[in-house]
Each structure stands twice: as structure tokens, then as C-alpha cells.
Amino acid sequence: MLRIITDIIHYNRNLQPVIGRIARHDRNLADQIRRSAQSVALNTMESTARVGGDARQRLRTALGEIRETRMALQLADALGYVPFVR
């Protein structure tokens, strides 16, 4: 298994309390963050069962999802729901 998978699981675990706080203000945004963060893990793991271009595409999708998660967290900060931590 890729070492990054362990890091992604850790990231998702640590994100849960933040998602809970965001949900108190905006359930839709919290759900979007939850889904995009989970998709990072799922697409990264799926890439390990693929070869060539298929593997790269899954990793590109995972990269897009982590960027989406980051932007959603920055948006939650801008809206005053939670502070964004870099």
C-alpha cells in the first residue's frame, strides 16, 4: 500500500471535528468537504489497481479532490465558520 494512504486516512480522521463545526453553520458545505476528502482516499487507492494512464487519471482526480477540499475549507474560513489552518 502507498504510504500516502496512511497520511490521507489521518487527514480524514483529523478533519471530522472541523466538518462537524462547519455543519452547524452549513450542512451542504460540510457534506461537500466530507465527500471530497473521502474521494481523495478512494481515488488514490483505486490508482494502485490501475496501470499507465488509468492510474495517472485516478491520481489526477485525487489531486483535484484535495484542491476542492482545501478551497471549501478556505471558504468556510471566509464565511466565519472555522479558521483555516495551513
48-74 confidence digits (pLDDT tens): 888 888 999 999 999 999 999 999 999
Domains in the chain: boundaries: 3-78
| Top-confidence residue, 86 or 8 | 8
The reported pTM is: 0.90
Amino acid at position 18, single letter: V
d(CA 76, CA 30): 9
CA distances in angstroms from 45 to 14, 40, 73, 80, listed in the order given: 19, 9, 23, 33
| Top-confidence residue, 50 or 31 | 31
